[in-house]
Amino acid sequence: MNIDDDYDDSGNETSGDDVDFAIDGESSANKELLSYDDDYQYEVLSTDDIVQHMVDCIKEVNNVVQIPSTTTRILLNYFNWDKEKLMERFFDGNQDELFKEAHVINPFKKLTIVAKPKMSRKVMGTEECDICFMVYPPSQMTGLECGHRFCYQCWNEYLTTKIMEEGVGQTIACAAHNCPILVDDETAMRLLQDPRVKLKYQHLITNSFVECNRLLRWCPSPDCMYAIKVGYVDSKPVACRCGHVFCFMCGENWHDPVKCQLLKKWIKKCDDDSETSNWIAANTKECPKCNATIEKDGGCNHMVCKNQNCKADFCWVCLGPWEPHGSSWYNCNRYDEDEAKAARDAQEKSRAALQRYLFYCNRYMNHMQSLKFEHKLYAAVKDKMEEMQQHNMSWIEVQFLKKAVDILCECRQTLMYTYVFAYYLKKNNQSVIFEENQKDLERATELLSEYLERDITQENLVDIKQKVQDKYRYCDGRRKALLVHVHEGYEKDWWVYSE
């Protein structure tokens, strides 16, 4: 972003109608559309591309509303960069109220409302800064359309604090007390002195633009500065230039075959304390009288509630009153009482729910852990490929190993999310077919992983190559068959989920 650095000392800076972001990159209209799964097209945008997209959006609105571009930017940000909503409000509503809500001076009336500087200082040819209370010549004072003027140094320190410490970009208000008028980006860039602060400010502006626009999403990969632009929002995979593939709808790693809402539910379940509650339910019991949670810490089944207001005596095994048990301290044969049976049933149900969750969670986490070591696997395979080339094999001939690792990682990622899908899936005939497909893919994936870990020698080279190629083709076919079956189930409403 190139901002004109010339100072206008009048205190009434206006920008004209030309957009002040000077970008030399190609227009977004000329960018090549990409597609990861053939039917969902998108663009990968750099920071400059994003700014150009902002400029195009501002110009499009400005051609209609005919107000300064800096004001247009603030209005667009107020409406979350929804052009149609802004223009509808601009022409159909009360414009004075609109500008007031957006905290900008009405550009059609601002010449009549500019505050006058202090006359006593003006007569002497100086002005006093209301922040540092130092006296400066008018040329060293500046302000916004609201008329509040401060020295350049105070403006710089104020803006730097807002940007670097508070992380505020598009909504920095005037430095005057209780003045709601926002500092436009042209003025901010003109007053800031440190290039690092300017860069952070530009990042805050572009970040706000991307996060407000539902057709844009930042790549979630760490330290990646690219964003994805789509024509419509859907749960589809998009691939960033950095190599990261993610779901545009939710921003998580691409998670076929599970849908976004189920994955969100699963992640919350894994992250919150719900499973701690399950552990408590499985390993403790409630006092049948006061419902206090009790953990058994000895061998005796005779329990006495520690609640001073309760002190109930009951049996740990059946949860019934202890008195009828007589001397049977270590064995309980009272299994027929309805109340005790209901308590035991609830306990067993909780234990079963915990065991079921752990079954799927362990398999989910196992594949996730394997994918985290993906870079080590690629490094090991690269060494093998180099070693094989030393045994008179060409570069093309050894590419089967990289292809095998690519497919292995795809299979592990698919399998990882099949366990999320299976956890919420209710049993029916189609779920049995799904589980068979899942089991077959799991077995084939582990065999492929085993082949890739074997030592390759001159003697077994041909045999290993054939086995690896056969197995990765089989894995790829089974993975696609599983996904086709799940998506067919979505179309035909085969799948029923548990809560």
From the DSSP assignment, how many helices (H) and strands (E) are in the chain?
A: 15, 14
Catalytic residues, by residue number, are 300
| Amino acid, res. 129 | C
* Contacting residues for 180 by C-beta, under 8 A, at least 6 apart: 103, 173, 174
Report DSSP letters for 256-319, one per residue: TTS-HHHHHHHHHHHHSSHHHHHHHHHH-EE-TTT--EE---SS--EEE---TTT--EEETTT-
With H, G, I as helix, E, B as strand and everything else as coil, classify residue 140.
Answer: helix
Give the CA angle between residues 430, 435, 440 to the nearest 5°: 125
Q: CA–CA distance from 471 to each of 38, 400, 445 (Å)?
A: 26, 11, 8
Please list the residues that pair with 262 across neighbouring strands: none
With H, G, I as helix, E, B as strand and everything else as coil, classify residue 117.
Answer: coil
Q: Which two tokens stand for residue 231?
A: 């024509």
With H, G, I as helix, E, B as strand and everything else as coil, classify residue 385.
Answer: helix
Which is it for the CA torsion 207, 213, 216, 221, positive or negative? positive
Q: Are 258 and 421 in contact (CB under 8 A)?
A: yes
